[in-house]
Amino acid sequence: MATMRLSTPLRKYSGGKPEVTVEGETLLEVLEKFDSKHPGFAEKIIENGEIKRFVNVFVNNIDVRTKDGLNTKIEENDTISILPAVSGG
Amino acid sequence: MTLSLDEIKRYSRQLVLPDFGSRQQARLKNAKVMVTGAGGLGCPISVYLTLSGVGRIDIVDMDEVDLTNLNRQFLYGPDDVGKPKVKIAARRLTEINPEIEVNPIVEKITYDNAFDLIKGYDAVVDGTDNFPVRYAVNDACAVNRTPLFHGAVLMYEGRAMSIIPKETACFRCVFPDAPPAGMVPTCREAGVVGSMTGIIGSIQALEAVRYLAGLDIGLKDRILILNTDTMTFDKVNVKRREDCSACGDVFIKKPVDEVCEVRSQ
């Protein structure tokens, strides 16, 4: 099981929880599995098979764009952080 | 530039720090900093720059004080409602530290004026509240090679990162495009408490002060994420994009549509 930390704008998909436990071999699989229980989640992050340009996904604090993107392998105890841009001040 | 006896006394608690002395204080005194926005982030940013002894602070904001500002924007009181924020802020900051110069600039930052407005500063500390202005400030700082100390808040979450153009990732390297309207709520829609903007603005000011004093800073190529639901501070690593439209090899103008702007009062 890995942990997925959700930024505030995405917490409506986790019942308000800042972090959830997730399963899957790759990042894409994790996002799809979570989406199957919380429909609409994946489309906030993925567009045309890629991570949207105003969202960043980090695995163990490393940007997955510098790894294998959506195909990044997810290991037991990994922490996934999903970060859309925010602008409040 | 030397320090007066009053200045040595005023700043004595920071001058005794092991890595901070009169040379670092003189660097702050010589520094010219722009604070964009005089709201929830702009208040702590400008107060801490003022207290630290940054010699010249220009604050840009076009808004007037509104009653809804007063849960977090501590430079203002009920008697200031309806008055230009930057004028009230500049007067108060000058009262707090008469040794420095604070200039109010009543102006709306746009993609068209940002490049001229943000010119000739040693640093910019961003306390704006919407995507069009944030991208304008980022792009102007990238083109003018002005260090930018970024911070943003939403509900109980806050972020900060420090940007040294051409050296570290800029806001647009991390988020090349703004989210579409309605995807990310604003503070007005989603809410914010005063201590959130206080924490993030203070971190931005501290990074700026350390940078201006010539000390190392910790938020280059990193985003600090503060989650106060669990009271955790995380840092994620980010990287410059060679093809970034702002700080990459070729600058491409990419104004963010004002349509998605919803002001957070």
Which whole-number Å values give the CA distances from B236 to B56, B101, B181, B223, in the listed order?
A: 32, 36, 26, 5
Please tell me which residue of chain B has the smallest CA distance to A81.
B236
Question: What is A2-84's CATH number?
Answer: 3.10.20.30
Sign of CA dihedral B20, B21, B24, B27: positive
| Whether pLDDT at A27 is above 80 | yes
Helix axes B42-52, B85-96, angle to 10 degrees: 30
Q: List phi, psi (to 5°) of B111.
A: -65, -30
CA distance B185 to chain A (A): 7
Which whole-number Å values give the CA distances from B108 to B19, B111, B175, B234, in the listed order?
A: 39, 10, 23, 33
Report pLDDT for B258.
Answer: 63
CA angle B44, B240, B243 (to 5 degrees): 125
Of B152, B234, B236, nearest to A88 by CB-CB distance is: B152
Q: Do A9 and B185 touch (CB under 8 A)?
A: yes
Read off the pLDDT of residues A31-41 as tens digits, 9 standing for 90 and up: 999 999 999 99
Q: CB within 8 A of B146, min separation 6: which ones?
A: B118, B119, B121, B122, B123, B124, B140, B165
CA distance A40 to chain B (A): 13
Q: What is the 3-state secondary structure (H, E, C) of B161-180?
A: EEECCCCCCCHHHHCCCCCC
CA distance B87 to chain A (A): 19
Alpha-carbon span B138 to A86, nearest angstrom? 14
Please tell me which residue of chain A has the smallest CA distance to B128.
A89
Q: Where are the domains of chain A?
A: 2-84
Report pLDDT for B189.
Answer: 79
Q: Do B153 and A89 touch (CB under 8 A)?
A: yes
In chain B, which residues have their Cβ closer than 8 Å to the Cβ of A64?
none
Q: What ipTM was predicted for this assembly?
A: 0.91
Nearest to B216 by CA among B164, B174, B140, B169: B164
Strand, helix or coil for residue B122? coil
Alpha-carbon span B203 to A79, nearest angstrom? 25
If phi > 0 it is left, if psi is from -120 to 50 it is alpha, else beta; for residue A24 that is left
Q: Do B151 and A89 touch (CB under 8 A)?
A: yes
- Classify strands A2-6 and A46-47 as parallel, antiparallel or unpaired: unpaired
Q: Which residues in chain B come in under a pLDDT of 50?
A: 260-265
CATH superfamily of this structure's domain B31-260: NAD(P)-binding Rossmann-like Domain (3.40.50.720)
Largest CA distance in chain B: 54
Strand partners, A56: A83
Nearest to B184 by CA among A32, A40, A54, A19: A54
Report pLDDT for B184.
Answer: 77
Listed in sequence order, the DSSP H helices in chain A are 27-37, 41-45
| Whether pLDDT at A22 is above 50 | yes
Number of other CB atoms surrounding residue A50 within 10 Å: 11
